[in-house]
Amino acid sequence: MRTNGTGGTGTRGTGTVDRRGLLKLAGGSLAALGLTAAGCGTGSGSDGGIVTIRYAWWGSDDRAKRITRTIALFEKKFPKIKVKTDFQPYLDFWKKFNTQASGGNPPDVFQNAVGFLRKYDAKNVLLDLRGQVDAGNLKLDGFRAGLEKFGEVDGKLLGVPVGSNSMALVVDQAVFRKAGITPKPGWTWDEYYAALAKIRDTQGRAGDSGMFSVMYLYDMYLRQHGKAFYTAEGLGFTEADLTAWWNKAYEGVKSGIYADPKKVSQARPKSAVAAELAASEFTWDNFTIRYTSEGKSQYGLAPIPTTDGKRTGQYLGSLMLSASRRTKHPEEVAQFINFMVHDPEVARIMGYDRGVPATTAQYEAFKPTDPVNRQIAAYEKQLVDTGVLEPITPHPAGADVAEAAFLRIAEEMALGRRSVPDAVQQFFSEAKTAFGS
Cα distances (Å, whole numbers) of residue 28 to 32, 64, 276: 8, 8, 27
Residues 103, 125: contact at Cβ < 8 Å? no
The 10s digit of each residue's pLDDT in 244-258 is: 999 999 999 999 999
Residue 300 pLDDT > 60: yes
pLDDT at 27 (0 to 100) = 36
Residue 34 pLDDT > 50: no
Looking at the DSSP bridge assignments, the partners of residue 158 are none
User: Domains in the chain, ordered, with CATH?
Assistant: 3-164+318-371 (3.40.190.10)
Instruction: Read off φ and ψ for residue 121, nearest 5 degrees.
Output: -70, -40
Instruction: Reply yes or no: is the peptide bond before residue 269 cis, omega within 30 of 0.
Output: yes
pLDDT at 437 (0 to 100) = 64
Residue 30 pLDDT > 70: no
Cα separation, 143 vs 105, in Å, equals: 31
Q: Quick one: how far is CA 404 from the chain centroid?
A: 14
Cα separation, 282 vs 36, in Å, equals: 37
The confidence band for 218, taking pLDDT boundaries of 50, 70 and 90, is: very high
Per cent of the chain over pLDDT 70 is 89
Across residues 178-193, what is the average pLDDT? 96
pLDDT at 421 (0 to 100) = 97
The confidence band for 48, taking pLDDT boundaries of 50, 70 and 90, is: low
Looking at the DSSP bridge assignments, the partners of residue 299 are 172
At residue 17, what is the residue type?
A: V
Q: Which residue has the higher pLDDT, 340 or 233?
A: 340
The confidence band for 37, taking pLDDT boundaries of 50, 70 and 90, is: very low
The confidence band for 115, taking pLDDT boundaries of 50, 70 and 90, is: confident
Q: Which residue has the higher pLDDT, 290 or 351?
A: 351
pLDDT at 102 (0 to 100) = 94
The dihedral through the CA atoms of 347, 157, 232, 391 has a sign that is: negative
Element containing residue 51 per DSSP (H, E):
strand 50-58
Classify strands 81-88 and 50-58 as parallel, antiparallel or unpaired.
Answer: parallel
Cα separation, 169 vs 194, in Å, equals: 15
Residue 98 pLDDT > 50: yes
CA quadruple 221, 225, 230, 235: dihedral, nearest 10? -110
The 10s digit of each residue's pLDDT in 378-418 is: 999 999 888 899 988 778 989 989 999 999 999 999 999 99
Residues 22, 13: contact at Cβ < 8 Å? no
**Residue 34: exposed, middle, or buried by beta-carbon count in 10 A (0-12, 13-18, 19+)?**
exposed
Across residues 160-175, what is the average pLDDT? 96
Q: Which residue has the higher pLDDT, 352 or 106?
A: 106
3-state secondary structure (DSSP) of residue 111: strand
Cα distances (Å, whole numbers) of residue 307 to 113, 215, 315: 29, 18, 17
Residue 54 pLDDT > 60: yes
The confidence band for 45, taking pLDDT boundaries of 50, 70 and 90, is: low
Element containing residue 173 per DSSP (H, E):
helix 173-178
**Residue 108: exposed, middle, or buried by beta-carbon count in 10 A (0-12, 13-18, 19+)?**
buried
The confidence band for 366, taking pLDDT boundaries of 50, 70 and 90, is: very high
Across residues 368-376, what is the average pLDDT? 89
Residues 220, 167: contact at Cβ < 8 Å? yes
The confidence band for 47, taking pLDDT boundaries of 50, 70 and 90, is: low
For the chain, the residue count is 437
The confidence band for 23, taking pLDDT boundaries of 50, 70 and 90, is: very low
Per cent of the chain over pLDDT 90 is 76
Element containing residue 335 per DSSP (H, E):
helix 330-342
Across residues 217-224, what is the average pLDDT? 96
**Count of CB atoms situated within 10 Å of the CB of 355:** 28
pLDDT at 383 (0 to 100) = 92
pLDDT at 28 (0 to 100) = 38
The confidence band for 90, taking pLDDT boundaries of 50, 70 and 90, is: confident
Cα separation, 176 vs 182, in Å, equals: 7
Average per-residue pLDDT for the chain: 88
DSSP-H helix ranges across 274-327: 288-294
CB contact set of 58 (below 8 Å; sequence gap of 6+): 26, 87, 88, 89, 90, 92, 93, 94, 111
pLDDT at 1 (0 to 100) = 36
Residue 350 pLDDT > 50: yes
CB contact set of 72 (below 8 Å; sequence gap of 6+): none
**Count of CB atoms situated within 10 Å of the CB of 271:** 29
The confidence band for 363, taking pLDDT boundaries of 50, 70 and 90, is: very high
Looking at the DSSP bridge assignments, the partners of residue 188 are 306
Residue 197 pLDDT > 80: yes
Across residues 274-300, what is the average pLDDT? 91
Cα separation, 38 vs 83, in Å, equals: 9
The confidence band for 20, taking pLDDT boundaries of 50, 70 and 90, is: very low
